[in-house]
Amino acid sequence: MAVDKQDHTWTDRPVCPHCGHVVRDDSEMFEDLEGFDDFDCPQCGLEYRCRRNVVFRYSTRVPEATDA
Ligand SMILES: [Zn+2]
């Protein structure tokens, strides 16, 4: 079953491009933070390549009076 390719870019979790299986625990998937790594989908058994994209987000707050 083909899944829209748009569903596989910048997703919250790795998504198999063959069957759409979502990897819930990616903690041990990546040894290399650069480039693509090869994985076998636990659902359909087909191989795909996945790269972890890192997004930085920022938090700001007004300093408290006692910080000065
Ligand atoms: Zn799959």
Handedness of CA 26, 27, 33, 38 (dihedral sign): negative
pLDDT (average), residues 46-65: 88
Domain boundaries, the chain: 1-24+35-63
For residue 2, report the distance from its CA to the centre of ligand 1, in Å.
10
For residue 45, report the distance from its CA to the centre of ligand 1, in Å.
6
For residue 13, report the distance from its CA to the centre of ligand 1, in Å.
13
Radius of gyration (Cα) for the chain, nearest Å? 18
- Distance between start and end Cα atoms, the chain: 60
For residue 26, report the distance from its CA to the centre of ligand 1, in Å.
15
Give tens-digit pLDDT for 1-45.
555 556 788 888 899 999 999 998 877 777 766 788 899 999 999
- 58 φ, ψ to 5°? -125, 145
